[in-house]
Structure 1
Amino acid sequence: MIKFFLIVNKQGQTRLSRYYECFEVQRRTLLESDVIKLCLSRSKDQCSFIEYKDFKLVYRQYAALFIVVGIDEYENEMAVFELIHNFVEVLDKYFSRVSELDLMFNLDKVHIILDEIILNGTAVETNKSRILSPLLVLDKIGDTG
């Protein structure tokens, strides 16, 4: 099961966080701080899977952004690694070369995309067209209204 999904920049600022398990605010802050330090301090040559406390971290770096996913011990690391890449491909398709600014100014749309991919900590959709279809409908409604 996926426990959380984070997007963080190189300066260690969280740009998106979605939790699929109940974490109190203080624990989230501490967790994000630790996870960010761990991932940012690693070199590109090191493995993208990290054992951390009672779960595993899977992360990928795209330019100045890190996407970090916390999973339980039963989740397949490679599947999550590819899920992260699929998420970025969907963002690229929608925003045509996504940037950190796209994420910051369209956070609601990024959440919609993420919600189409992951539901209650489980990956439910990987087809890019199906993931984007609700967002495209919303965009059409916005254009006509």
Structure 2
Amino acid sequence: MIHFVLLISRQGKVRLTKWYSPYSQKERIKIIRELSGTIVSRGPKLCKFVEWRGYKVVYRRYAGLYICMCVNHDDNELEILEIIHHYVVVLDRYFGNVCELDLVFNFHKAYYILDEILIAGELQESNKRTVGRLIEAQDAMVEAAKEEASSISNIIAQATKNVS
């Protein structure tokens, strides 16, 4: 089971967090500070697995971003590396060569994509095309809602103009 997911920049700034196990806000801040310092300071030739508080933290660096997942000690590290890579591939397909700024300005999409892949800390969908179709459907619903909201606000504006 995945306990949490962290996306950390090379400077140690957190770009995305997703918690699947209950942690207090104070504990979350402590975890982020501890792990970001540990992972960012590791050399590129070192193993991508870190033993931490009886768990394993599996991470992978893509350009200037570290994607970390904390799992149980007996979970398969290679499977978690594949899940991380799967997430990045889907982000790449959606954003077209994803970068850190895409995640900063479209964090809601990054969360939505992660939620389509993982549910409750378990792999939900491993097919990239299926995830892509679900994201396109979500985008279409958002656009339809925006158009509906726009038309309603136009109707309200017309009604208030006619009253005065």
Paired with 1:40 and 1:65, the residues of 2 have a C-alpha distance of 10
Asked whether the equivalents of residues 59 and 67 of structure 1 are also in contact (C-alpha less than 8 Å), the reply is yes
CA shift, 1:51, in A, is 0.4
Q: Which residue is 2:22 aligned to? A: 22
Q: Which residue is 1:138 aligned to? A: 138
Residue 65 in 1 paired to residue 52 in 2? no
Query: Map of 1:92-131 to 2, 5 A cutoff?
Result: 92-131=92-131
Residue 15 of structure 1: SS of its match in structure 2? strand
One-letter amino acid of the structure 2 residue matched with residue 21 of structure 1: S
Residue 115 of structure 1: SS of its match in structure 2? helix
What count of residue pairs does the alignment treat as equivalent? Answer: 145
Asked whether the equivalents of residues 2 and 75 of structure 1 are also in contact (C-alpha less than 8 Å), the reply is no
Q: Which residue is 1:56 aligned to? A: 56
Residue 138 of structure 1: SS of its match in structure 2? helix
In the alignment, structure 1 segments of 5+ residues that lack a partner are: none
Paired with 1:83 and 1:97, the residues of 2 have a C-alpha distance of 18
Q: How far does the alpha carbon of each residue in 1:37-87 deviate from its partner, in whole angstroms, 9 at most, with x for none? A: 111111110000010112100000011100010001131110001110110
Paired with 2:108 and 2:135, the residues of 1 have a C-alpha distance of 10
Paired with 1:104 and 1:30, the residues of 2 have a C-alpha distance of 22
Q: Higher relative contact order by CA 8 Å / sep ≥ 6: 1 or 2?
A: 1
Q: TM-score, normalised by structure 2?
A: 0.85
Q: Kindly, what percent of the aligned residue pairs are identical?
A: 36
Q: TM-score, normalised by structure 1?
A: 0.96
Structure ID, larger Rg: 2
Structure whose residues are more often helix by fraction = 2
